[in-house]
Structures are given as structure tokens and as C-alpha cells.
Amino acid sequence: MKKLALSIVIISSALASGCYSYGGWEPTVDPYNDPNAYRINQDTAECKELASRASGGTTKETAIGAGTGALLGAAGGAVVGAFTGNPGAGAAIGAAAGGLGGGAKQGFSAEDKYKNAFNSCMRGRGHRPL
């Protein structure tokens, strides 16, 4: 039961985060008074790639967070379940809750890293991201 719940949490978190992919955030760069405005499209594409590598990617980070959260949730759930007489069910519930929470936290953290890395890259190339 624990292994099944853990597998479901990790797989569903990874699939959901793969669809999420930085929340559909699309960077905006102000071309007004930009001496390098002709390079915005090329620099945007290059900075997206660099930011993706720098952030670790939402799918990978969410999967790591889901796995860690599921393990911690299963341990805590087993303890609570032991007090109620069913440690197996407590561990399964704890794994599911911990996996989803841990996956979401890591996914949002990776998204913030991505945005910061992208903006920093564009500023370094003389652009003004908004």
C-alpha cells in the first residue's frame, strides 16, 4: 500500500509539473530606448535556455520535492496511524499529502529561480525585462 501511494504521488506530481512548466509565464522586455532592441528575440531564446538550466527545471525539482515530501509524510503518517491503530493507512495518507505538498513547494521554487535567472541574463545583455 505504501509503495503504491508513493508511486502515485511521484508520478502524478511529475506529470502535473511537466504540464505546468513555469506557469505559462512569458517574459516581457521593454524595447524603448534599447540600443540592442534588434537582439531581443535571440537574447530571449538564449536566456530562456540558460535560465532553464540554472533553475533545474520544474519537472525534475517537483519530482525531487514530491519524493522527499512523500518519505517524510509517510514517516509522520505512520506515527499518527500507530496511535489510532492503523500505521499502514496513516503512512499512505501521509505519503500522499507530503508528496503533493513537497512537490508543489519545489516546483514554485524552481519557477522563481527561472524568472530571476532569465531577468538577470537579459539585464546582463543590456535589456530591460519587466
DSSP symbols for 28-78: -EE-TT-TTGGGHHHHHHHHHHHHHHHH--HHHHHHHHHHHHHHHHHHHHH
Is 69 part of a structural domain of the chain? yes
The pTM for the full model equals 0.52
pLDDT over 70 (residue 61): no
Average pLDDT over every residue of 56-69 = 60
**Amino acid symbol at 119:** N
Is 68 part of a structural domain of the chain? yes
DSSP 126: T
Higher pLDDT, 14 or 25: 25
Is 21 part of a structural domain of the chain? no
The answer to whether 65 and 106 have CB atoms below 8 angstroms apart is yes
What's the pLDDT at 19? 44
Is 64 part of a structural domain of the chain? yes
Give residue 110's domain range. Answer: 58-130
Q: In angstroms, rounded to a whole number, what is the distance separating the alpha carbons of residues 53 and 81?
A: 41
Side-chain half-sphere CA neighbours of 80 within 13 A? 13
What's the pLDDT at 26? 86
Is 40 part of a structural domain of the chain? no
DSSP 27: -
Number of domains in the chain: 1
pLDDT over 60 (residue 8): no
